[in-house]
Amino acid sequence: MKLIFEKSRKGRGCDVLPPCDVPIAELPLSLGRKKPARLPELDENEISRHYSALAKRAFGVNDGFYPLGSCTMKYNPKLNEEAAGLPGFRDVHPLQPEHTVQGCLKVLDIAAESLREITGMDAMNFQPAAGAHGEFTGLLLIKAWHKSRSDTARTKIIIPDSAHGTNPASAAMAGFQVLNIASGPDGCVDLAALKAAVGSDTAGLMLTNPNTVGIFDPNILEITGIVHEAGGLNYYDGANLNAIMGIVRPGDMGFDVIHLNLHKSFSTPHGGGGPGSGAVGCKKLLAPFLPLAGCDLEGGAAASPQSIGRVRAFGGNFLVVVKAAAYLLTLGKENIPEVARNAVLNANYMMEKLRAKYPVPYDGPCMHEFVISLEKLKETFGVSALDLAKGLQDKGMHPPTIYFPLIVHEALMVEPTETESRETLDTAVEAFMTLYDQAKADPESLHAAPVNTVIGRPDDVKAARQPVLRYSADIDR
Ligand SMILES: Cc1ncc(COP(=O)(O)O)c(C=O)c1O
């Protein structure tokens, strides 16, 4: 497909701008461009076709089932997009005087209050723009707390080997040393390993519960207790909150600080480079260190002198919070647990059906996602997790996450999400089952998959390491 720059023809266009409703300011010549901007010039018809063609080459939740474990691409109500598009939210400027944005601040307040209640935290802050950014911020809070007590020997963050990759990365970025501990045979935290790891150098523990194999750790109170007793704090990676919201609270599990992925659990799609919100919540002891929010509701609390400062401009990605608030208000307190119940029900339904052919390394019921292993299939028939994922694309669905978590060989991590119907799950199960038989009968055909997609098997490493994101040809026509 040609790039929009390649379709451009000098002099074409459809730029009918609305009349200017602000005073026109002339820029000094020294600030002007030497050459016109390199913008593609096309008529409206061509532009419309170009973007339609691009949309057809992508796959999103509006196209089909998207069980991307850990990255939760679920259907989100379009109504919430409309709420975020209301001019009173969309058109505000962060430097407007506070008395003109009281409605927006009220929305932040409503969202914060609901999320505080759902998580069991005392304070909530929306400045971080992504989950990993929330982790980094939360870890800086832990660091600031230890420092405020002159306990500077606490330099280590303990992280289980099942953790999401962003956890150790964020800890290292926040200046901590990462101490990895192995999971037990049940996929949960190995208590003996944790007890051996904690000490006077422990700054804290980072944990997601349910963990990345989809299991809720039954020893959670003992785990957080061990860390507290050693003088550390507990960080909860709340990216998987859709599994537990309204049912149990991280604050009651002994966690001191958490981040939430509003762009997973609360009505904004995850991924795709769009705006996110890694809201950070914490208990009272850490609240004085929270980032400066930018502005407050009239009569709101003044910024704390102990704040770690800003981690992003102003109040964060405000419109993501608007969607979260709309979602929370639509559900209401009584229906929030229903989200978690459906997430868990859908995952268990699918896991139990797949168990008939696919090994599930960790026994027992799962939470919102589960992991299957293709290790045996690969050993016997040479069909890998990647081959199966490619085969699933040919069946019209987005593949699950593959090769994660690292503690499961040839892993496929499936998260059906709370928003899928039983019929969709049944169709997906059928696709998995057919592919299993195909893998045994004709493994070669899966090595050649996918055959129905625009791109077959790109060089993943090259795409990640050397992405070509800019048109570089000379277009000074
Ligand atoms: C468990 C877990 N932690 C952290 C993250 C990081 O979130 P983000 O991709 O917004 O940085 C994710 C991402 O999906 C996740 O699944």
Tens-digit pLDDT profile for residues 385-414: 999 999 999 999 999 999 999 999 999 999
pLDDT on residue 296:
56
* Partners of 157 in the β-ladder: 178, 204
- Measured CA to CA in angstroms, residue 190 lies from 93, 218, 392, 437, 477 at distances of 49, 11, 35, 37, 65
Cα 203 to ligand 1 centre (Å): 22
Instruction: Give the pLDDT mean for 220-243.
Output: 97
Question: What's the pLDDT tens digit per position in 164-211?
Answer: 999 999 999 999 999 999 999 999 999 999 999 999 999 999 999 999
Dihedral sign (CA 397, 403, 405, 410)? positive
What span, in angstroms and rounded, lies between the C-alpha atoms of 52 and 70?
Answer: 29
For a ligand 1 pocket test, name from 66, 70, 213 the mutation site with the most ligand atoms within 8 angstroms of its C-beta: 70
Q: Is the CB of 70 under 6 A from ligand 1?
A: yes
Give every CB contact of residue 366 below 8 A, 6+ residues apart in sequence. 210, 213, 214, 215, 344, 347, 348, 351
Q: Above 90 in pLDDT, residue 266?
A: yes
* CB-CB contact of 191 with 220 (8 Å): no
Q: For the residues of 89-137, what is the DSSP string, one character each?
A: HHT--TTS-GGG-HHHHHHHHHHHHHHHHHHT-SEEE----SHHHHHHH
Band (298; pLDDT cuts 50, 70, 90)? low
Q: Which of 152, 133, 132 is nearest to 142 (CA)?
A: 152
User: Among 52-61, 257-266, 365-374, 415-424, where is mean pLDDT lowest?
Assistant: 52-61
Atom in ligand 1 nearest the alpha carbon of residue 278: 10
| Ligand 1 binding pocket includes 211 (Cβ within 6 Å) | no
Q: CA–CA separation, 89 vs 449, rounded Å?
A: 45
Confirm or reject: Cβ of 239 under 6 Å from ligand 1.
Answer: yes
For residues 163 and 472, give the distance between their C-alpha atoms in angstroms, rounded to a whole number: 39
DSSP letter string over 382-419? ---HHHHHHHHHHTTSPPPEES-STTSTTEEEE---TT
Please state, in angstroms and rounded to a whole number, the distance separating the CA atoms of residues 280 and 290.
8
- pLDDT of 272 reads 63
302-321: b or e for each residue (b if 16 or more CB lie within 10 Å)? ebeeebbeebbebbbbbbbb
pLDDT above 60 for 295: no
Lowest pLDDT segment from 18-32, 78-92, 178-192, 217-231: 18-32
128 Cβ inside 6 Å of ligand 1: no
3-state secondary structure of 365: coil
Q: Retrieve residue 115's tokens.
A: 């999320």
Tokens (6 digits) for 283: 């208990």
Q: What are the phi and psi torsion angles at 313 (to 5°)?
A: -70, 140
* pLDDT band, residue 349 (cuts 50/70/90): very high
Q: Which residue owns the Cα nearest ligand 1 atom 5?
A: 131
Ligand 1 within 6 A of CB of 162:
no
Region 114-134: what's the mean pLDDT?
97
Q: Are strands 280-282 and 257-260 parallel, antiparallel or unpaired?
A: antiparallel
Categorize the per-residue pLDDT at 273 as very low, low, confident or very high, splitting at 50, 70 and 90: low
Give the Cβ contact number of residue 396 at 10 Å: 15
- Amino acid 269: pLDDT: 85
Amino acid at 333: K
Residue 264: name the closest of 341, 181, 323 by CA: 323
d(CA 425, CA 67): 10
Instruction: Give the nearest ligand 1 atom to 261 CA.
Output: 10
Judged on CB neighbours under 10 Å (0-12, 13-18, 19+), 37 is exposed
State the Cα–Cα distance between residues 200 and 35, nearest whole angstrom.
62
Residue nearest to atom 7 of ligand 1 (CA): 131
Pairing of β 370-373 and β 411-414: antiparallel
**What is the rounded CA–CA span in Å between residue 218 and residue 438?**
38
Q: Which atom of ligand 1 is nearest to the CA of 208?
A: 1
Whether 261 lines ligand 1, by a CB cut-off of 6 Å, is yes
> 465 burial class (0-12, 13-18, 19+ CB within 10 angstroms)?
exposed
Residue 474 reports pLDDT greater than 60: no
- Tell me: pLDDT of 300 over 90: no
Considering only CA atoms, which residue is closest to atom 12 of ligand 1? 239
Q: How far apart are CA 193 and CA 190, in angstroms?
A: 5
Q: How far is the CA of 132 from the centre of ligand 1 (A)?
A: 6
Q: Answer whether 237 contacts ligand 1 (Cβ < 6 A).
A: yes
- Picking from 210, 283, 207, 278, the residue whose alpha carbon sits closest to that of residue 244 is 210
Ligand 1 mutation target, pool 66, 206, 213, 261, most atoms within 8 A of CB = 261
What CA–CA distance (Å, rounded) separates 261 from 279? Answer: 7
Rounded distance, CA 316 to CA 273, Å? 15
d(C-alpha 387, C-alpha 392), whole Å: 9
For residues 133 and 279, the answer to whether their CB atoms sit within 8 Å is no
Residue nearest to atom 10 of ligand 1 (CA): 131
pLDDT at 437 over 90: yes
User: What's the distance, CA 317 to chain centroid?
Assistant: 14
Residue type, 310: R
| Secondary structure tally for the chain: helices H, strands E | 16, 10
Predicted pLDDT of residue 292: 80
Tokens standing for residue 48: 């419309």
Atom of ligand 1 nearest to the CA of 71: 14
* Distance (Å, whole) CA 7 – CA 357: 49
The protein residue whose alpha carbon is closest to atom 14 in ligand 1 is 71
Are 205 and 230 a contacting pair, CB within 8 Å? no
Mean confidence (pLDDT) of the chain: 93
Q: Does residue 110 have a pLDDT over 70?
A: yes
Whether the pLDDT of residue 461 is over 70: the answer is yes
Span from the CA of 268 to the centroid of ligand 1 (angstroms): 14
Task: State yes or no: pLDDT of 299 exceeds 80.
Answer: no
**Hey, how many other C-beta atoms are within 10 angstroms of the C-beta on 132?**
22
Average pLDDT value for residue range 123-134? 96
Distance CA 385, CA 406 (A): 13
User: Residue 263 has which token pair?
Assistant: 């762009």
458 prior amide bond cis, ω within 30: no
